[in-house]
């Protein structure tokens, strides 16, 4: 990106941007929730739309001068509905949430009475803080009814989820996680929600891009509300969307504004619109297919090296490695890998006996390396580096040279 002006006016920030640019270029990023956006997405995010206040919704704003941003917001909404093949007769979308956390909070504010029950996967099993964890506002204002996964299969156990739902009668059930590598059966969740009269929400933040690329089942047929961030597999700016059946949309719009947020970040809305357009192109479908291929090859190669992979593999863009089985905590593993220029995040594994700050595993994701153009043969190299670093205890600085060599080839 052209940094001509900032270079002249603010050398401190200029240097930090350049340093981060260098870090991103010279490391292999395996964080499952990050990605590299296109120049076009960045340009829209850095555009003059950041100057405009637009509290309200198209044709109903609290400020003048909104002719252009009204067009922008409507276009973004149309693109969002079109990407997921939704009819505007039945579905609405709110494109204003600043990010995933306020999007989820807005849905609960709109649809669940305060102190009501939100049934969701607990954080240590792969869920998200904003699905009702006690340290999050969502766990203080509402009661989380947690569900987990089956200890043996390390996958969702729908009979058990039904049993909990019948006992607890939650107001809303959430599916969609941050560290679950398998396909979710949305139809089964719909049935469970119907049996207990709950609203069914999916948080598809992690796999939205895979749904757009048609390599992961679409949840829309079975749900009432869907939230998603736009910056993970969807490869857009840091922002979020809330899709809802028409009957819920008025309440949700009111919860977003004025309930929770002020003026929408129209530069982010412009940038979301650009990413949604990119996600409709054949190249994006190919990208999503490659993300899944890369994740599978990666997890298979890790198994060959002797790692225990949670649920024995993956159907998606990510997988979880039990590093503690080989006596290495997730923090230590992550620190060693970083010394060699490989970035991961430490992660709890299901039924973890250790703590979130030093859990038993690491999470590995393929979205960013796939955006960088990595294919199967590159993935095998990365998996082998991880084994050499963590199992054979080879010198990280030696591996770093090999990492930089691979990155130079790009
Ligand atoms: N969703 C989290 C992650 O997966 O990294 C961030 O909130």
Average pLDDT, the chain: 97
Assign 409 a pLDDT band (cuts: 50, 70, 90).
Answer: confident
Selection from 326, 252, 209, 265 nearest residue 54 by Cα: 265
- What pTM value is reported for the model? 0.97
C-alpha 178 to ligand 1 mean position (Å): 6
At residue 227, what are phi and psi to the nearest 5 degrees?
-110, 155
* Structure-token pair, residue 165: 């739902």
Q: What is the pLDDT of residues 330-367, one digit of tens each?
A: 999 999 999 999 999 999 999 999 999 999 999 999 99
Q: What is the pLDDT of residues 188-229, one digit of tens each?
A: 999 999 999 999 999 999 999 999 999 999 999 999 999 999
State the virtual CA torsion across 82, 86, 91, 94 in degrees, nearest 10: -30
* Structure-token pair, residue 259: 């309930």
CA distance linking residue 28 with residue 142, whole number of Å: 39
CA distance linking residue 298 with residue 289, whole number of Å: 14
Atom of ligand 1 nearest to the CA of 130: 7
pLDDT for res 1: 77
Which of 130, 229, 233, 368 is the catalytic position? Answer: 229
Asked if the model's pLDDT at residue 410 lies above 90, the reply is: no
Atom of ligand 1 nearest to the CA of 100: 7
Q: How, if at all, do strands 143-147 and 117-121 pair?
A: parallel
State whether the beta carbon of 130 lies less than 6 angstroms from ligand 1: no
* Burial classification of residue 121, based on how many CB atoms lie within 10 Å of its CB (0-12 exposed, 13-18 middle, 19 or more buried): buried
C-alpha 67 to ligand 1 mean position (Å): 35
State whether the beta carbon of 128 lies less than 6 angstroms from ligand 1: yes
């Amino acid at each position: 990106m052209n940094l001509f002006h900032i270079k002249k006016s603010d050398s401190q920030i200029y240097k930090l941007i350049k340093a981060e640019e260098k870090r991103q270029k010279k490391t292999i990023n395996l964080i499952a929730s990050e990605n590299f956006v296109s120049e076009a997405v960045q340009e829209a995010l850095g555009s003059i739309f950041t100057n405009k206040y637009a509290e309200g919704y198209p044709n109903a704003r609290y400020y003048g001068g909104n002719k252009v941003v009204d067009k922008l917001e409507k276009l973004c909404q149309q693109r969002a509905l079109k990407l997921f093949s939704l009819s505007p007769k039945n579905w609405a979308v709110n494109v204003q949430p600043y990010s995933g956390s306020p999007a989820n909070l807005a849905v609960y504010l709109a649809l669940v009475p305060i102190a009501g029950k939100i049934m969701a996967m607990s954080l240590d099993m792969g869920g998200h803080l904003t699905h009702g964890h006690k340290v999050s506002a969502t766990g203080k204002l509402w009661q989380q009814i947690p569900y987990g996964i089956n200890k043996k299969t390390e996958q969702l156990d729908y009979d058990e989820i039904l049993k909990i739902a019948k006992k607890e009668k939650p107001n809303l059930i959430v599916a969609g996680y941050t560290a679950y590598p398998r396909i979710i059966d949305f139809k089964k969740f719909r049935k469970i929600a119907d049996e207990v009269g709950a609203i069914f929400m999916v948080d598809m933040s992690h796999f939205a891009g895979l749904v757009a690329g048609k390599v992961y089942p679409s949840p829309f047929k079975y749900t009432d509300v869907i939230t998603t961030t736009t910056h993970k597999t969807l490869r857009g700016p840091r922002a979020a969307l809330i899709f809802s059946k028409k009957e819920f949309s008025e309440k949700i719009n009111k919860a977003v504004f004025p309930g929770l947020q002020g003026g929408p970040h129209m530069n982010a809305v412009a940038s979301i619109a650009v990413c949604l357009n990119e996600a409709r192109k054949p190249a994006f479908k190919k990208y999503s297919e490659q993300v899944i291929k890369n994740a599978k090859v990666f997890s298979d190669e890790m198994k060959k090296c002797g790692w225990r992979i949670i649920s024995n593999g993956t159907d998606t863009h990510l997988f979880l490695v039990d590093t503690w089985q080989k006596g290495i905590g997730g923090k230590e593993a992550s620190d060693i890998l970083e010394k060699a220029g490989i970035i991961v995040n430490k992660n709890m594994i299901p039924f973890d006996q250790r703590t979130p700050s030093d859990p038993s595993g690491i999470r590995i994701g393929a979205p960013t390396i796939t955006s960088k153009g990595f294919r199967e043969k590159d993935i095998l190299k990365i998996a082998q580096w991880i084994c050499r670093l963590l199992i054979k205890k080879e010198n990280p600085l030696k591996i770093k040279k090999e990492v930089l060599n691979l990155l130079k080839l790009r």
